[in-house]
Amino acid sequence: MNLLIMGPPGAGKGSQAVIIKERYNIPHISTGAMFREAIKAKTKTGLLAKEYIDKGELVPDSVTIELVRERLQADDTKNGFLLDGFPRTIAQAQALDQILSEVGKKIDKVINLVVDEEILVIRISGRRVCKTCGETYHIVNKKPKVEEICDVCGGELIQRADDNVATVSNRIKVYYEKTRPLLNYYDDKGILINIDGSGEIEETFRYVEKIMEDANDLT
Catalytic residue among 13, 36, 50, 123: 13
Residue 88 sits in the site that holds ligand AMP (CB under 6 A): yes
38, 131, 183, 211 from 111: Cα distances, Å: 27, 28, 10, 9
Q: What is the nearest approach in angstroms of ligand AMP to the Cβ of residue 133?
A: 15
d(CA 149, CA 102): 44
Position among 8, 9, 12, 197 found at the interface with ligand AMP (CB under 6 A): 9
Residue span binding ligand AMP (CB under 6 A) among the ranges 37-45, 57-65, 117-125, 131-139: 57-65
Listed residue (49, 38, 30, 36) closest to 87, CA to CA: 30
Catalytic residue among 105, 160, 178, 180: 160
Q: What is the nearest approach in angstroms of ligand AMP to the Cβ of residue 111?
A: 15
Position among 32, 82, 186, 195 found at the interface with ligand AMP (CB under 6 A): 32
Q: What is residue 59's DSSP assignment?
A: P
d(CA 157, CA 146): 10
Using Cβ positions, the residue closest to ligand AMP within the complex turns out to be: 32
Listed residue (168, 178, 177, 53) closest to 118, CA to CA: 168
Whether the link from the prior residue into 181 is cis, omega within 30° of 0, is no
d(CA 125, CA 212): 31
Let me know if 171 is a catalytic residue: yes
Q: What is the nearest approach in angstroms of ligand AMP to the Cβ of residue 85?
A: 3
Listed residue (1, 15, 11) closest to 183, CA to CA: 11
Residue 27 sits in the site that holds ligand AMP (CB under 6 A): no
d(CA 80, CA 171): 29
Residue span binding ligand AMP (CB under 6 A) among the ranges 17-25, 83-91, 127-135, 194-202: 83-91
Position among 18, 58, 111, 130 found at the interface with ligand AMP (CB under 6 A): 58
Residue 124 sits in the site that holds ligand AMP (CB under 6 A): no
- What is the enclosing helix (H) or strand (E) of 105? none
Residue 85 sits in the site that holds ligand AMP (CB under 6 A): yes
Let me know if 69 is a catalytic residue: no
| C-beta of residue 60 within 8 angstroms of C-beta of residue 175 | no
Residue span binding ligand AMP (CB under 6 A) among the ranges 28-36, 70-78, 125-133, 134-142: 28-36
Let me know if 71 is a catalytic residue: no
Catalytic residue among 50, 109, 123, 127: 127
Q: Which residues belong to the active site? A: 13, 88, 127, 160, 171
